[in-house]
Structure 1
């Protein structure tokens, strides 16, 4: 295993950030830690990258203990924190040279690792990092995290606040990096990105809800899911929330995703109920659940 986490717990005063967390990440795996803000993702990353010490439990990265072997871990991993943390007064090229020098290497030595990313920011190599766009900052941070050829790459919410095109490009880059043998642990609040991982762990309020492949997790959704629309979204939500057979209901774009407490719901009965509440243009369709639907069900 590239990463092992055994019964890790961490609290800040009265807040339990992590509650008895345990899981493994295989060598060469692209593993996703999926959960909303405040779920505990960043705290776990800081423990694994030796920036925090857990209250209880232990963990290893590349067979190095995160407490006893912290210096070895810092030399063998790449870490891209959620907040842009490079030197904003230095240029793109100066930042990259600085990090290469710290790790006793050069840009040329590991250029093959960052080439696909660096050629996109090279036209701005003389621009100060603080003046880059969000997507360009993200690419520069990834280059700096890779310049010493790490065995394990930690990416804490790397695409938060980045435009959709840059998000797609970033995940394409991660897939290519994985092919070089690097183990990647990435956290994200975006459920659509979960489907791009080999395995995912759902985390909520510091606890792991489930760990499996994206496909297997979706298959665990045990209820029939319905896509419902009507002429008044707010009234539709309120009516479904107070329906006596409702198990879950939440907005999903132009629709509402609904599941029922009963094993065999009659859509016509639900339609009649919604009409009695004054709703019109009602559509009720069975749909295949998504990863987000599964997370919502587990969190409930």
Structure 2
């Protein structure tokens, strides 16, 4: 069996009367890129902070990088790189100066060698004298990643790292993550982008504090057991209005000139879709269920824990 970098059981965290993380158990193998999905406020960030020793769980136990989550929190922090949703650096310092500061925080010696190696690894050498505040979103992201991996962590935790970054920079970032994972680094990344989730080896879906699905993308889609059909034609707008009131229809989603209908009751969905297609002069065919379809379904079925 592949060695686990993260293995936690029953993690629970409360803030006042609200349970933000509710009995979460998760395993992430060494060298794996694990996706962490869920709606805003679902507990993803709190779970990540529990795993890297920034927060203490109210219940549950586990090991991260072979160390006890409760007793060895300080040691875990030293072996983890944590990239938050907001890039953290001094905008009036250069790229190189920011990394020198981080090297000092970690006590890296010789600091200049660590900085030079990191600049080279992430293609930042030619920009090292550029002020951080003048960087585009993609280069800021790369600087943030450099600061997280310079101390050579064994585990990288990324909390929505590509929010607000253009598609080209996102792809380059993910290419870099796969390169790091191939060298043995374990990565846990939270994201709202379905194309990014599909680049993970395995995904974990958390909704309002509870882990409700996990596995490879193919396994999560299969286990959702949804039926998806597509209507196409000039009458899709009228069909959409009709379908939202019909049995078996859980989701109605327009995509350009087509209309996707999704539901758990395949028999009822097919009957409703055939009726609506005929009534509105649309063609109808089966389609593969996407991860986004599953994401929306799980969100709609989860119970909000705000109350």
Above 0.5 in TM-score? yes
Q: For residue 93 of structure 1, report the CA deviation from its aligned partner.
A: 0.7
Partner residue in 1 for 2:165: 162
What is the RMSD of the two structures over their aligned residues, measured on CA atoms?
2.4
Aligned partner (choices 93, 109, 130) of residue 90 of structure 1: 93
Query: What's the CA shift string for 1:11-39, capped at 9, x where partnerless?
Result: 22343211110111111111111112211
Q: For 1:266 and 1:87, how far apart are their aligned partners in 2?
A: 54
Moved more, 162-171 or 51-60: 51-60
Residue 18 of structure 1 pairs with residue 47 of structure 2 = no
Which piece of structure 1 moves more, 26-35 or 265-274?
265-274
Q: Find out whether 1:171 has 2:174 as its counterpart.
A: yes
Q: 1:251, CA displacement in angstroms? A: 2.0
Cα deviation digits, residues 129-155 of structure 1 (max 9, x gap): 222211111100000001011011111
Aligned length in residues: 294
Residues 38 and 250 (structure 1), Cα distance of their counterparts in 2 relative to 1, 3 Å cut:
farther
Aligned residue for 2:249, secondary structure, equals strand
Query: 1:45 is matched with which residue?
Result: 48
1:80 aligned onto 2:86: no
In 2, Cα distance between equivalents of 1:83 and 1:32: 19
For residues 266 and 103 of structure 1, what CA distance do their matches in structure 2 show?
57
- Find the counterpart in structure 1 of residue 260 from structure 2: 257
Return closer, same or farther for 1:212/1:110 CA change in 2, 3 Å cut-off: farther
Residue of structure 1 equivalent to 2:113: 108
Q: Structure 2: 5+ residue runs without aligned partners?
A: 302-307
TM-score by length of 2: 0.86
Cα distance between partner residues in 1 of 2:251 and 2:212: 20
* Deviates further, 150-159 or 105-114: 105-114
Aligned to 2:243: 240
Matched with 1:125 is 128
Residue 189 in 1 paired to residue 160 in 2?
Answer: no
**Matches of 2:186 and 2:165, distance apart in 1:** 23
Unaligned 5+ segments in structure 1 are none
Task: Note if contact 2:96-2:115 (Cα within 8 Å) is conserved in structure 1.
Answer: no
Within-5 A mapping of 1:197-236: 197-231=200-234, 235-236=238-239
Correspondent of 1:139 among 119, 137, 142: 142
Deviation at 1:103, TM superposition (A): 1.8
Change (3 A) 1:274 1:48: same
Q: What secondary structure is seen at the aligned counterpart in 2 of 1:150?
A: coil
With over 3 angstroms needed to count, the CA separation of the structure-2 counterparts of 1:261 and 1:134, relative to structure 1, is closer
Describe the shift of the 1:61–1:269 C-alpha distance in structure 2 as closer, same or farther (beyond 3 A).
closer
1:250 Cα deviation from its structure 2 partner:
3.4
Q: Larger deviation: 88-97 or 247-256? A: 247-256
Task: Tell me which moved more, 159-168 or 256-265.
Answer: 256-265
What is the TM-score with the length of structure 1 in the denominator? 0.88
Measured after TM superposition, the shift of residue 114 of structure 1 is: 5.7
* Residue in structure 2 matched with residue 152 of structure 1 by the alignment: 155
Moved more, 101-110 or 159-168: 101-110
